[in-house]
Chains A and B, each alone.
Chain A
Amino acid sequence: EPEVTQTPSHQVTQMGQEVILRCVPISNHLYFYWYRQILGQKVEFLVSFYNNEISEKSEIFDDQFSVERPDGSNFTLKIRSTKLEDSAMYFCASGYRQESYEQYFGPGTRLTVT
């Protein structure tokens, strides 16, 4: 069964450094998402992406964040200058059709900012 994959599974970085989190969505999916979950808190939406552009973004997704689909398979989230409060699990998700709405989640990347 096809699945969303994410790398790395765990990333440790120092405050102020740039990180890139990588995702490979399911191959025939067209809609892509990033969510994050701070330890012990709820899953929060960051951004949705369709047809090579951002469809919607949350207040969390400020100028420090960017997304890219550099080729036909990868979907990346970049944080330019990490802060301590960026420490969280970051989940990538993908979906196939507008009307099905179902989103398949990857296993997540645990980001630790020290």
Chain B
Amino acid sequence: GQNIDQPTEMTATEGAIVQINCTYQTSGFNGLFWYQQHAGEAPTFLSYNVLDGLEEKGRFSSFLSRSKGYSYLLLKELQMKDSASYLCAVVTGGGNKLTFGTGTQLKVEL
């Protein structure tokens, strides 16, 4: 079966750094995505990792350890607009489907 775990909620302060963890156990692995989703909107792409290590993209970084089935998304210099749900999704199967975690609702406070 497919199992992807993320914390349900996190709260952080504007300007701070937050790390959102994701652990996965899936049959097959073709990479891991992080998406941002604001309420009532579509997921928007943040990052993609297929090899172990850190990928940096502006204020956002994502890390992957395939041997540990673990990834994290690091958000720096938090802004109020970063308040959203962050979805971890693993690519599996010949059809390259995305299997999503339940998402982590991040609240950024003043």
Binding site for B on A (CB under 8 A): 31, 33, 35, 41-45, 48, 50, 54-56, 58, 89, 91, 95, 98, 101-108
Contacts and interface: CB of A to CB of B under 8 A. Distances in A.
Interface residues of B, number: 26
Question: Is chain A's binding surface mostly helix, strand, loop or mixed?
Answer: strand
A101 B45 contact: no
Contact of A98 (B45, B96, B100, B102): B96
B97 A105 contact: no
Contacts of A48: 93, 95-97
Contacts of B100: 42-45
Contact of A91 (B42, B50, B102): B42
A105 B44 contact: yes
A35 B93 contact: no
Nearest to A50: B95
B53 to A, nearest CB: 17
Contact of B102 (A42, A45, A54): A42
A95 B93 CA distance: 15
A91 B95 contact: no
B94 A55 contact: yes
A51 B64 CA distance: 32
B95 A55 contact: yes
A35 B95 CA distance: 13
Contacts of B45: 102-104
Interface string B9-32: 000000000000000000000110
Contact of A56 (B33, B94, B103): B94
A106 B45 CA distance: 12
